[in-house]
Amino acid sequence: MDFSDRLKELRRLKGVSQEKLAQDINISRSSVAKWENGLGMPTDESLKMLADYFGVTVAYLANGQQQTIKRSSKKLTLISIVLAVVFVGLVCVLGSIQSKIFDYIFPILLGCILVIMGVFNCMGNIASIHWYNRRKVTKQNQKAYSRIMGIGTIVIGVGVVLAGVMQAFSDGQIMEYIMAGSVITGLAFMLYAQFKYNKGIF
């Protein structure tokens, strides 16, 4: 039993609604709904209030999930820093070879941001995908859905970066071809995830 199930069970045993629980500990009902749907974890302060409210320990309520999320957050931060350093290093190296690279800094930067978002998704971070696009995804399918959406985002991001770099070294239309190919491929992954796990685009 994970945190969301434990919270629902404790609330059921106490005989209170989501709205009543939210009022009693002075939080929004949408926060309770989000926690029970497995879309996030409460802050340390909220977790302590919940534990006091239900008369259980924080350790019992969290069941290690809090620590897992903190570790994941640190890992994502580290990945972001590494990717940012790689990006700056890449631009500096390429800029020393071809100064024209700075004319295409925007698509390269945009592509790197998409890659970072894709990595977050691949690691199971569904929160970065708009709720409207994931509202029908079941809790059991969240990781698979996030992974496929992440792959699609990474493919688009890598294509945008490559398009920017290649255009700086070529006067042809290679940028358009690379970008079109990556966008079509990435969107194919994302549409597959939407239809398989969200039962449609909308």
Largest CA distance in the chain: 69
- pLDDT score of 153: 94
Q: How far is CA 156 from the centre of its chain?
A: 16
The pLDDT confidence band at residue 113, using thresholds 50, 70 and 90, is confident
Of 184 and 47, the structure prediction assigns the larger pLDDT to 184
Measured between alpha carbons, how far is 13 from 54 in angstroms, rounded to an integer? 9
Tokens of 175: 């940028």
**What residue has token string 């290679």?**
174
- pLDDT score of 74: 64
The pLDDT confidence band at residue 67, using thresholds 50, 70 and 90, is very low
Sign of the CA dihedral running 160, 163, 164, 166: positive
Share of the chain above pLDDT 90, in %: 15
8 touches 15 (CB < 8 A): no
The pLDDT confidence band at residue 98, using thresholds 50, 70 and 90, is low
Measured between alpha carbons, how far is 16 from 55 in angstroms, rounded to an integer? 14
Section 174-188 average pLDDT: 88
The pLDDT confidence band at residue 68, using thresholds 50, 70 and 90, is very low
For the cut 80, the answer to whether the pLDDT of residue 69 exceeds it is: no
Using the CB atoms, write b or e for 133-147: b if 16+ within 10 Å: bbeebeeebbeebbb
Query: Which of 146, 132, 86, 134 is CA-nearest to residue 111?
Result: 86
The pLDDT confidence band at residue 161, using thresholds 50, 70 and 90, is confident
Section 2-9 average pLDDT: 84
Q: Which residues contact 113 (CB under 8 A, 6 or more apart)?
A: 157
- pLDDT score of 2: 76
- pLDDT score of 66: 44
Q: Does domain 3-62 have CATH number 1.10.260.40?
A: yes
The pLDDT confidence band at residue 75, using thresholds 50, 70 and 90, is low
Domain ranges, ordered by start, for the chain: 3-62, 66-197
Of 81 and 146, the structure prediction assigns the larger pLDDT to 146
Of 65 and 167, the structure prediction assigns the larger pLDDT to 167
**What residue has token string 């569904």?**
126
Section 93-100 average pLDDT: 70
Q: What is the mean pLDDT of the chain?
A: 81
- pLDDT score of 110: 85
